[in-house]
Amino acid sequence: MAVVLILVLLALGSVVFHILSPWWWTPIASNWSYIDTTLIITFWITGTVFVAVVCFMAYCVYRFRHKPGNRAAYEPENRRLEWLLAAGTAVGVAAMLAPGLVVWHQFVTVPDDATPVEVVSQQWLWSFRLPGADGTLGHAETRKVSAENPLGLNTDDARGLDDVIIEGGELHVPVGKPVHMLLRSVDVLHDFYVPEFRAKMDMIPGMVTYFWFTPTRTGTFEILCAELCGIGHSQMRGTVVVDEAADYQAWLEQQSTFTQLVASGEPQTTD
Query: pLDDT tens digits for 203-246?
Result: 998 888 999 999 999 999 999 998 898 888 888 998 999 999 99
- The CATH number given to whatever domain includes residue 237 is 2.60.40.420
Q: Tell me which of 67-76, 99-108, 197-206, 211-220 is least confident.
A: 67-76
- Are residue 144 and residue 234 in the same domain, yes or no? yes
- Decide if 42 is inside a domain: yes
Looking at the domain assignment, is residue 6 inside a domain? yes
Q: Which segments of the chain are extended strands (E)? A: 115-122, 125-130, 164-167, 171-174, 179-185, 190-194, 199-203, 209-213, 219-225, 237-243
pTM equals: 0.77
Clarify whether residues 170 and 152 are in a common domain: yes
Q: Within this chain, do residues 170 and 192 fall inside the same structural domain, yes or no?
A: yes
Q: Stretch 197-201: mean pLDDT, rounded? A: 89
Give me the pLDDT at residue 191, please.
93
Compute the distance between CA of residue 130 and CA of residue 209 in angstroms, rounded to an integer: 16
Same domain? For 178 and 88 the reply is: no
Read off the pLDDT of each residue in 144-154 and give the average, rounded to a whole number. 77
pLDDT at 58 > cutoff 80: yes
What is the spatial distance between Cα 108 and Cα 92, in angstroms, rounded to a whole number?
25
Please list, in sequence order, all residues whose beta carbon lies within 8 angstroms of the beta carbon of residue 145, skipping any fewer than 6 positions away: 151, 152, 186
Determine the 3-state secondary structure of 186 from DSSP.
coil
How many domains are there within the chain? 2
Most confident of 24-28, 153-157, 205-209, 253-257: 205-209
Is there a single domain that holds both residue 190 and residue 97? no
The domain containing residue 33 runs over which residues? 2-64+79-108
3-class secondary-structure state, position 106: helix
